[in-house]
Amino acid sequence: MEVLMCIICGFLFSAATYLMLSKSILRIIIGTGLLSHGAHLLILTMGGLKNGAAPLLGEHAKWYVDPLPQALILTAIVISFGVTSFFLVLAYRSYQELGTDDMDQLRGNDYE
Amino acid sequence: MTLLHVAILSPFIIAILVPFLHNYFQKIHTGWFILPLPILLFVYFLSLISSTMNGETIRNTASWIPSLGINFTAYIDGLGLLFALLITGIGALVILYSIYYLSKVKEQLNTFYVYLLLFMGAMLGVVLSDNLIVLYTFWELTSLSSFLLIGYWYEREKSRYGAQKSMMITIFGGLLMLGGFIMLYMMTNTFSIREIIEQVPTIAQHHLFIPALILILFGAFTKSAQFPFYIWLPDAMEAPTPVSAYLHSATMVKAGIYLVARFSPVFAGTPEWFWIVSAFGIFTMFWGSFNAIKQTDLKGILAFSTVSQLGMIMSMLGVGSAAIALDSIDDSYYTVAILAAMFHLMNHATFKGSLFMIVGIIDHETGTRDIRKLGGLMGLMPITFTISIIGAFSMAGLPPFNGFLSKEMFFSSMIRIVELNIFNLESLGLLFPIVAWVGSIFTFIYSMVLVFKTFTGKYQPEKLEKKPHEAPIGMLISPIILASLVIVFFFFPNLLAYTIIEPAMASIIPAVLGDGEHFHVHISPWHGFTLELYMTIGVVALGILGYFTLRKWSGIYRFIPERLTINKGYDAALYSLDKSSFHLTRFYMTGSIRNYLLYIFTFFIVILGTSLAVKGGFSFSLEGNASVGIYEVILAGVILIGTITSLFAKSRLTSIIALGSVGYTVSLFFVLFRAPDLALTQLSVETVSVALFLLCFYHLPEFKKPEKKLNFNWPNFIISLGVGTIVSLLALSANSQRVSETISTYFIENSYKLAGGKNMVNVILVDFRGFDTLFEITVLGIASLGIFGMIRLQVRKEEER
């Protein structure tokens, strides 16, 4: 199972990279979204996908899945949500102000 | 802190007071307040002569950074004292001269004297420090104060250019010298020059010995304007003339000489030292005198003459180092080179100082320094003319002036080098006397040009800005003192010999002296009919011939194309360095984020891929893996489809929805992998994100037309494929090589016992690792405030309009 998940994560990273290298801001934001999905799944996979009960003591099971990666991912989800929404509004505002979403035109370079 | 430390630091202390003195006593020329200081210091250093004469040294240490072995150790021996006397003596004369030279009304005297005092203190520190780091500190202070003084008239472009050039070159050499010092420290574990000299026998074979030697010589050669680093000195002539007289003839440019002399006990005796110092020195001597003739500016002639004379002193120090390679003091006539170097050092300071002051007077009284405009001033300025005759004839090496004595000794040391049969001298040694002789002929010619083109010939009042007349007496005092010293040193050379020069020699080549022995340093103007005398006669004869036929043969200077000079090379190098770094930066700093991301991703792939391959980090095992279920495979398929859709969707709505589908599938994965809290959060966060996307939908930009098609970009595709592959490989390798057990058993055991909660994830979030959560809340808060700010800012801006 871990092998399959590793490959899926790699695929998500590939797709995210490809989107982030594109010209449109919106695609870049979608790319960051995919990237965070890939990272979260990767953390979960690396924590081990051994079968066991959900990390709730009420289950009275013999084996539980690892709770620590889940806590880490939860933190990461919230943070990436905050950042993504900020980006989204930033993109919206910059498009409104600058009238373009083409990264080739959004250059911080005076020499051109 | 001892009296000696106070003496070294006193110029710095007085420099602090200068602006106050300048502001509160505006009627009195500020220089008068400064003048007593160098005189006092000079007298103080004179009083130390009796102790160094007996071979004693004074060494006082004040702690600075004892833990690093860096202490302000003041050290006086013959060499240090000679330089200290030179610095304070000439310093006093130059300050006296500057009082009459610089106008109280027109010039900013406070800055001038602050810089000058800064320089004087730094120079004293250089020659009287035993600690290498302290020496380096003062060394850079001399570079800095010289920079400030050259750029004194900062509103002139040439001053700024000269200041920058001298700064670049001397700092370049200074930094290399610091490298040499650090190498010495690595070999000997001490910064003290005394202690380094004691360890020389053990470090001479060290592999850093020769690199340290070369680096330290870089410092000496840049500072002392040796070939090919002499180019800053002619441009430094934009400084006020007292500065040129003081810094660029008598003191600062001799710091390199001092360094070579100071490190002679360490490095002399090696063929590298001998060859580098004497070959560069003798060539500089020739090159400087050869180029001095084509100058038309009086200060230009003097600048090249200084270069030439410094080369002469340097070559004598190099030749004298051969004395150390020989064993006993019986070969003492090789030490004559060191004697001549020290003697000429003092002679040069006297006649070059007076010549600079004379040129300053001419400039001051006529308004020009161009020899093509000058002429026939002999009758108008008789005193100035007399002094310049004395200075120039001494420089040319004529009796009865002190330059004659040092030139004779220069020739004899060069002749005797031929008889040596070490360091390959048997074949190449003959070059030394020949080059020295030819260089001396040129020296004679430019000395004559300097005097006779200025003072004889046709008087051309229409070309002069002012009506020339004799200078005020105050301006003449200093050059008169120096010129009389020129003559006194000729008739009574032994006044200096045992008092100053012999102790200095003892500190340059201590190895050839036994206990209680002294050098035999009798200097006499008459040796009988020796080869040296015939050489001097030849110099005079050919020099006179050359001077009168100057017009005929000066055409040879046109054979050297202007653009092949070192100056052009320096300018071109600076320009192309500037240009090429600009182009390089423009080449990769394109301003396009996409390019930067490409660099970052490529770096990521190359570094991680290489280290994975080189270190054999990749491994693959299925041990301990969970089994693959049918649900997971289906969900994996859904993620693949969703991702590909979002990649290639033509409309943004499809893209957003595809991203949402991936998010929901991820939350389904969380369900399958038994993470209920994650599934809940992911589901709600994804819903809100997609809602946000849709909220902005009408305002979001449409995908651009060219990208609507399947516009496939190969480089991007390869890079992203690489990133994905690397991530997969790393993940697989990490998964296959688990090093230690998880720490989660602790959380499982103690969630209820210690924290009283049954939901382990939540207990970790708020109890075991509550700080993470605190700052994650902060992140959300900041994000929401940021969004709020961005939107509000827009409203306010519209109101303003």
- From chain A, pick out residues whose CB is under 8 angstroms from the CB of B770: none
- From chain A, pick out residues whose CB is under 8 angstroms from the CB of B717: 18
Handedness of CA B199, B204, B207, B209 (dihedral sign): positive
The b/e string for A78-106 (b: 16+ C-beta within 10 A; e otherwise) is bbbbbbbbbbbbebbbbbeeeeebebeeb
Judged by CB atoms closer than 8 Å, whether chains meet at B643 and A23 is answered as no
Number of helical (H) and strand (E) elements in chain B, helices listed first = 37, 2
CA B148/CA B334 separation, integer angstroms: 41
For residue B525, what pLDDT is reported?
61
User: Distance from B673 to chain A by nearest Cα, in Å?
Assistant: 7
- The chain B residue lying nearest A32, using CA atoms, is B659
Of the candidates A11, A88, A102, which has its C-beta nearest B704's C-beta?
A: A102
Q: How many CA atoms lie within 13 A of B757 on its CB side?
A: 13
Of the candidates B594, B636, B780, which has its C-beta nearest A4's C-beta?
A: B636
Element (H, E) at B218: helix B209-223
- From chain A, pick out residues whose CB is under 8 angstroms from the CB of B681: 74, 77-78
User: Distance from A13 to chain B by nearest Cα, in Å?
Assistant: 5
Of the candidates B652, B720, B735, which has its C-beta nearest A26's C-beta?
A: B652
CA B275/CA B705 separation, integer angstroms: 73
Judged by CB atoms closer than 8 Å, whether chains meet at A22 and B707 is answered as yes
**Closest to B259 in 3D by CA, of B135, B350, B141:** B135
Are A96 and B794 spatial neighbours (Cβ–Cβ below 8 Å)?
Answer: yes
Total CB pairs under 8 A between chain A and B = 279
Amino acid at position B269, single letter: G
CA B346/CA B386 separation, integer angstroms: 21
Judged by CB atoms closer than 8 Å, whether chains meet at A8 and B688 is answered as no
CA B654/CA B645 separation, integer angstroms: 8
Strand ranges (E), B272-394: none
- From chain A, pick out residues whose CB is under 8 angstroms from the CB of B588: none
Mean pLDDT by 10 residues, chain B (801 residues): 87 91 86 91 90 83 88 90 92 92 84 92 92 93 93 91 93 94 91 89 86 92 90 90 87 91 87 88 91 87 92 89 64 74 90 91 85 82 88 88 86 79 70 88 90 82 74 87 89 81 81 66 67 86 87 73 75 92 89 88 93 85 80 92 88 89 94 92 93 80 55 82 92 84 86 89 92 93 92 63 49
Of the candidates A30, A46, A103, which has its C-beta nearest B735's C-beta?
A: A46
For residue B125, what pLDDT is reported?
93
Are B338 and B322 spatial neighbours (Cβ–Cβ below 8 Å)?
Answer: no
For residue B660, what pLDDT is reported?
93
Judged by CB atoms closer than 8 Å, whether chains meet at A67 and B747 is answered as yes
**Closest to B29 in 3D by CA, of B114, B118, B109, B115:** B109
Of the candidates A21, A50, A81, which has its C-beta nearest B597's C-beta?
A: A21
State the DSSP string of B73-136: EEEE-HHHHHHHHHHHHHHHHHHHHHHHHS-TTTS-HHHHHHHHHHHHHHHHHHHHB-BHHHHH
State the DSSP string of B592-630: -HHHHHHHHHHHHHHHHHHHHHHTT------TTPPPPPH
Q: Report the Cα–Cα distance between both ends of chain A, in Å, rounded.
A: 51
- From chain A, pick out residues whose CB is under 8 angstroms from the CB of B662: 12, 33-34, 37
CA A47/CA A44 separation, integer angstroms: 5
Are A71 and B676 spatial neighbours (Cβ–Cβ below 8 Å)?
Answer: no
Judged by CB atoms closer than 8 Å, whether chains meet at B790 and A11 is answered as no
Judged by CB atoms closer than 8 Å, whether chains meet at B655 and A27 is answered as yes
The region, left, alpha or beta by phi > 0 then psi within -120 to 50, assigned to residue B589 is beta
Judged by CB atoms closer than 8 Å, whether chains meet at A111 and B586 is answered as yes
- From chain A, pick out residues whose CB is under 8 angstroms from the CB of B704: 23-24, 101-102
Judged by CB atoms closer than 8 Å, whether chains meet at A21 and B782 is answered as no
For residue B707, what pLDDT is reported?
46
Are B755 and B768 spatial neighbours (Cβ–Cβ below 8 Å)?
Answer: yes
For residue B142, what pLDDT is reported?
93
Q: Which fold has domain A1-54+64-104?
A: Helix Hairpins (1.10.287)
Of the candidates A11, A30, A83, which has its C-beta nearest B659's C-beta?
A: A30
pLDDT higher than threshold 50 for residue A12 = yes
**Closest to B74 in 3D by CA, of B11, B167, B138:** B138
Helices (H), B649-737: 652-672, 676-695, 705-708, 714-736
Domain-by-domain residue ranges, chain A? 1-54+64-104
- B757 burial level (CB within 10 Å; 0-12, 13-18, 19+): middle
Judged by CB atoms closer than 8 Å, whether chains meet at A70 and B761 is answered as yes
Please report the ipTM that was assigned to this predicted complex: 0.94
**Closest to B322 in 3D by CA, of B297, B341, B299:** B341
Amino acid at position B795, single letter: V
Are B468 and B377 spatial neighbours (Cβ–Cβ below 8 Å)?
Answer: yes
Angle between helices B209-223 and B271-292 in degrees, nearest 10: 20
Of the candidates B597, B689, B776, which has its C-beta nearest A75's C-beta?
A: B776
